[in-house]
Every structure is written in structure tokens, then in C-alpha cells.
Amino acid sequence: MPELSPKRLAFILAAILSLITALISLAFLGVENQQYLLVLIPVTFVILLLFQYFILRYALEKFIYDRIKLVYKSIHKLKLNKDDKKSLPASMHGDIISKVNQEVENWANDRKEEIDELKKMEVYRREFLGNVSHELKTPLFNMQGFILTLLDGGINDPEINLDYLQKSQKNIERMITIVEDLEVISRLETGEATPLMSNFPIISLVKEVFEFLEPKATEKQIKLLFAADYHDTMMVRADKEKIRTVFANLIDNSIKYGVEGGRTKISVYDMDENYLVEISDNGVGIDEKHISRLFERFYRVDKHRSRAQGGSGLGLAIVKHIIEAHNQTINVRSAPGVGSTFSFTLQKV
């Protein structure tokens, strides 16, 4: 059975009341002529029906409107005037009950999604603060230990004084790196670090990064190579220094988590308006459960091993923000024991 609108409900109630009133009233009338009775019943019924219909309709609409207004004030945070029916999305002459029911259901669903998102962000915030605290606490405690040892007399011991000062310097540099990387991410998120677009050959840029990281790759006997004999005519439009940071971070990671005697390979594919760049390795790989969180700040797949390898834990977060600042996308495919492939797009000239 469909839900009744105030108009229909008022008509039904008025009809019932009018019929009862007409029959009761006529029962007490002394009508001698039967033909008058046949005329008075329908006339009385119609008059009472119209009179009671408008009264009931007005009363029901006012009653329902006053309560519907309270509902909309609550779910839409509206400040409605007494007669401001335009603020209500549903007409009072339609099936207002079902419409308001739908509005409330939609509002409840929206709030549920909002609450779920807030809960997710709260978990992320707690993890982020915990990670920041841990990342900064480690070098601080290390420096504290070194300095206390020096103050306790180690400063006069030539076998440890210079060594401890150098270790303290390394921990200071790590803290500076973390703070600088956080600042970079903040500027990228707020739009302050707008990409300075220019045209440049992407293969030449990769070769520069290869040359810079060659000593680190040589230590682990990892080969840095291209998948094909690409030409320097492959031009992209992007912020050259930011894209250099992207290549440096991704290639450096492939070396850190690569296997001795392995390789890091760069592939570039022509995709009409963009180039698809892939950086793949045959290293330790990443378990699927970590893939969705890989670009979060300070997220580490293997925390102890990652910190031993160095870095701020913000490299991939910076990479993702740089690529998205170029209105492009980045993805990762990986499997344990097989290796990882990071792929992103750049606008082609």
C-alpha cells in the first residue's frame, strides 16, 4: 500500500467524518417527505466534506510541515523561516513522507561515509604522529648517547672522540633530511610547490641519475640499464628537477632492496599523449598486503631493515605527490622474490 500524502489523508478522513455527521444529523431531522431526504443527504455530505477537507488538510500540512522543518534543520543545518517552504526540497502537495524518508536515508548514508572517513583519517593521524616520533627519537637518542659518552671523558680518548662526533653528525643529517622531506610534502600538498614546466629529453635525465647512483649500484653489483636503445628525441613536458627526484628515489630504492648481481631496468612506452615510464627490478619484492599503503608517509614494509638502509621513509610519499602535482598517475606491481615495477606517466611534447 502506497504511503498517503496529507492531501489524500485529509480527503479520506473528511469523507468518513462527513458521512457519519450527515447520517447522524439527518436521523434527528423530522422530514416527512421521503424525497427531501434523498436531496439533503448528498447536499449535506458534500458541504461537510468540503468544509472538513480544507480544515483537516490545513491542520495536517501544518502539523507535518512543522515536524519536517525540524528534521531538515537537523540534517541540513538550515535556519528556516516560519513560512519558508522553498527551503524544503519536497513539495508539501506531493508524497512528502516518502520524500523525507528518502532524504533522511541519504543523509544517514552520507554521514556514515563521512564518519568512516574520519575514523580512517584518525587512525592515519595516530600512525603518522607515532611514526614521526619514532623516526626523530632514534637519531636523538643516538646523539644523546654519543654526547654523554664524550662528556663523561670520551672527548679525551682519541680512539672514540672523532668517531662519536662523526656518528652524531650522521644522525643530525638524518633528522635534517626528515624535516626537509616533510616540508617538501607539505608544500606539494598545499600547492605552494607548483611544478615549473619545461620541455626536456627524458632519456638524458635518466642517464644523469644513472651516473649519480652508479657507485651505489656497483657496490651491490647491480646493473642499471634501459630496456631498449631509446633516443634522446623522447621529449616530455614537466618540472625537470622534480622528475629527477622521482627517478632518484625510485632507482635508489631498487638498489637498496635489490639482490647482488641483479638489475634495475628503465622502460619507456609511447602512449599517444603521454609516455609511460617503468622502473623495474628483480629484487626482494613486496607482499600484496603492503601495496595499498606503500606511498604513505613513513610507511615501511620491513621497518628494521628499512631504517638500516637509511633514508627518511618519505621518499615514495614525495614521489606520489610530485607525479600527482603533474596531473599524472603512479602505480606499482610487485611480488615477493620476483621484484617490483613502479610505473608512472608524463606528458609527451
Report the largest interatomic distance among the alpha carbons of the chain, rounded to a whole angstrom. 134
Position 74 scores a pLDDT of: 63
The answer to whether residues 141 and 168 belong to one domain is yes
SS3 234: coil
SS3 10: helix
The answer to whether residues 287 and 148 belong to one domain is no
Residue 106, domain member (yes or no):
no
Position 215 scores a pLDDT of: 92
Position 91 scores a pLDDT of: 46
Q: What is the mean pLDDT of residues 61-89?
A: 58
Torsion from C-alpha of 226, 232, 238, 243, nearest 10 degrees: 30
Residue 311 has pLDDT above 70, yes or no: no
Structure-block grid coordinates of residue 202: 627524458
Total domains in the fold of the chain: 3
The answer to whether residues 32 and 85 belong to one domain is yes
Residue 17 has pLDDT above 80, yes or no: no
Structure-block grid coordinates of residue 309: 638502509
The answer to whether residues 89 and 142 belong to one domain is no
Position 79 scores a pLDDT of: 45
Domain boundary among 190, 224, 241: 190
The answer to whether residues 202 and 305 belong to one domain is yes
Q: How many other CB atoms sit within 10 Å of the CB of residue 135? A: 22
Structure-block grid coordinates of residue 85: 517552504
pTM for the structure as a whole: 0.61
Q: Which of 270, 208, 279 is nearest to 233 (CA)?
A: 270
Stretch among 94-103, 303-312, 340-349 having the lowest mean pLDDT: 303-312
Q: What is the mean pLDDT of the chain?
A: 79
Q: How do residues 243-298 score in pLDDT, each as one tens digit?
A: 999 999 999 999 988 889 999 999 999 998 999 999 999 988 888 888 888 888 77
Domain boundary among 59, 77, 94: 94
Distance CA 7, CA 4 (A): 8
Residue 35, domain member (yes or no):
yes
Position 80 scores a pLDDT of: 45
The answer to whether residues 246 and 298 belong to one domain is yes
Looking at per-residue pLDDT, the higher value among 119 and 5 belongs to 119
The answer to whether residues 79 and 186 belong to one domain is no
Backbone torsions φ then ψ of 88, nearest 5 degrees: -85, 130
Residue 108, domain member (yes or no):
no
Q: To which H or E segment does residue 38 belong? A: helix 34-76
Q: How do residues 34-67 score in pLDDT, each as one tens digit?
A: 555 566 667 767 777 777 777 877 776 667 666 6
Structure-block grid coordinates of residue 191: 600547492
Q: What is the mean pLDDT of residues 301-309?
A: 56
Structure-block grid coordinates of residue 304: 628494521
> CATH number for the domain including 179?
1.10.287.130
The answer to whether residues 163 and 296 belong to one domain is no
Position 199 scores a pLDDT of: 96
> Which residues have C-beta within 8 Å of that of residue 72, sequence separation ≥ 6?
78, 80, 87, 88, 103
Structure-block grid coordinates of residue 41: 443527504
> Which residues have C-beta within 8 Å of that of residue 254, sequence separation ≥ 6?
222, 264, 279, 280, 281, 283, 340
Q: What is the mean pLDDT of residues 313-332?
A: 90
Domain boundary among 146, 172, 190: 190
Residue 212, domain extent: 198-347
Residue 99, domain member (yes or no):
no
> CATH number for the domain including 315?
3.30.565.10
Q: Assign 90 a pLDDT band (cuts: 50, 70, 90).
A: very low
Residue 100, domain member (yes or no):
no
Structure-block grid coordinates of residue 37: 431526504
The answer to whether residues 338 and 260 belong to one domain is yes
The answer to whether residues 221 and 341 belong to one domain is yes
Residue 11, domain member (yes or no):
yes
Position 40 scores a pLDDT of: 62
Q: Assign 12 a pLDDT band (cuts: 50, 70, 90).
A: confident
> Which residues have C-beta within 8 Å of that of residue 338, sequence separation ≥ 6?
282, 285
Question: What's the distance, CA 260 to chain centroid?
Answer: 38
The answer to whether residues 166 and 246 belong to one domain is no
Residue 111, domain member (yes or no):
no
Looking at per-residue pLDDT, the higher value among 248 and 182 belongs to 248
DSSP state of 310: -
Q: Which of 230, 253, 258 is nearest to 315 (CA)?
A: 253
Position 15 scores a pLDDT of: 77
CB 107 within 8 A of CB 72: no
> Which residues have C-beta within 8 Å of that of residue 220, sequence separation ≥ 6?
255, 258, 259, 260, 262
Locate the DSSP E strands across the chain: 198-201, 223-226, 235-238, 263-271, 274-281, 330-335, 339-347
Residue 119 has pLDDT above 60, yes or no: yes
Q: What is the mean pLDDT of residues 88-98?
A: 51
Stretch among 21-30, 36-45, 73-82, 94-103 having the lowest mean pLDDT: 73-82
SS3 323: helix
Residue 293, domain member (yes or no):
yes
* DSSP codes joined into one string, 238-258: E-HHHHHHHHHHHHHHHHHT-
Determine what percent of the chain is predicted with pLDDT higher than 90: 28
The answer to whether residues 256 and 239 belong to one domain is yes
Residue 235 has pLDDT above 80, yes or no: yes
